[in-house]
A = this chain, B = another copy of it.
Amino acid sequence: MTAIDTERRVEAAGLRSGNCQLAPRNESGNPLLNKLAHFSGFNPACAPTVDRLFRRTAIVPRHRDILSEGSQADEIVLLLRGWAARYKLAHDGERQILSFLLPGDVFPSHPLPVGVIDYGILALTRCTIKTATAEAFDHAVLRDADLARAFWWLSIQDKAILRAWLVNLGTRSAYARIANLFCELAARLRLAGVIDGWVFDLAPTQEELADAEGLTAVHTNRTLQQLRTDGLIKLDKRRLTILDSARLQRAGDFDPAYLNPGGRAPIHLF
């Protein structure tokens, strides 16, 4: 058993979240459906279809590629438990992590047989995944308008997260970048119904955090110390506690609105 056990809380989330009607067959809670429940245009009727699309379950050990850069993507993957990272290698071997994938995330999340993919997906913890064949997925999403809307929404959200990362790297200091990232992760875990409060297991190592934020591991370490001594977070053995969410949010210039595209009311996360 790994030390990272965001996974254990999945069951509790299913009971807690108020959208049981969305997953009638699945009392334990499907994090993807939890996410979609925040989409105002989501048609609950297609929840079973979403659920049925991903048939095959598999377990991927930590630090194994789920998808490799340059491979053929003939399966669509739904991450059920655990953390993963989408990354890309620059020519000199430097690695950029493009996004952290949390329970409920789907990749690649578009209905187009896209052939060779230009990034890799790495399991940061032991992951439980479910897969759909690309054909079945493409067919379903292109035929059913409700399903199409749902996956367009996921795609828009995904792009908004990417843009937020670009702003993070382009305009903010190391301190603000990391504060911002922690806010994003907390908010997204909440959207997926995986956590409740301000504590969660932070799967990435400091080196992986560094590769995500365009920093070195050393400087990431020093910055984390700073966040600790400022009383914003507690971080021990990869368990992160957000001690002062308001100040962390301000430090990271974090605005959660982008996580709920099209939503009238911003989700109550902070």
Interface residues of A (CB under 8 A from B): 41, 88, 90-92, 94-96, 98, 110-116, 118-119, 142-143, 145, 148-149, 152-153, 155-156, 158-160, 162-163, 165-167, 169-172, 211-214, 253, 257-258, 261-264
Contact = CB atoms under 8 A, between A and B. Distances in A.
B145 A145 contact: no
Nearest to A112: B152
Contact of A142 (B118, B149, B153, B169): B149
B171 A114 contact: no
A112 B166 contact: no
Contacts of A94: 171
- What are the nearest 4 A-B pairs in CB distance? A170-B214, A169-B169, A96-B170, A91-B253
Given A171-B94, A253-B90, A159 B156 contact: no
Instruction: Specify how many copies of this chain sit in the oligomer.
Output: 2
Contacts of A165: 166
A263 B153 CA distance: 25
A172 B90 contact: yes
Contacts of A116: 257
A262 B115 contact: yes
Nearest to A215: B170
Contact of A96 (B111, B119, B171): B171
Given A98-B167, A169-B170, A149 B214 contact: no
Contacts of A114: 156, 261-262
